[in-house]
Amino acid sequence: MDNGKFMACFVIHEGKDSNGKLRYQRKSPTNEFDSEDEAVAYILDFSGDWIDQNPL
């Protein structure tokens, strides 16, 4: 972002590649992070929890 912060925008697809059905999309989160590493950690944590709560 222009202010030096990072946003965590991401999608969750079925399968091992992006050809599977779209299951979740986060376009404009309210969270801002000080580093790219913090944004990626949030994405991985959120995605893991979401997948556990929304199995195929």
User: Which pLDDT does position 30 carry in this prediction?
Assistant: 73
CA–CA dist 39, 36 (Å, integer): 5
**What pTM value is reported for the model?**
0.79
Of 43, 30, 41, give the one whose Cα is nearest residue 1: 30
Q: Mean pLDDT of successive 10-residue segments in the chain (56 residues)?
A: 88 86 86 93 94 91
User: Which pLDDT does position 49 carry in this prediction?
Assistant: 95
User: Which pLDDT does position 50 carry in this prediction?
Assistant: 93
User: Which pLDDT does position 27 carry in this prediction?
Assistant: 86
Amino acid at 43: I
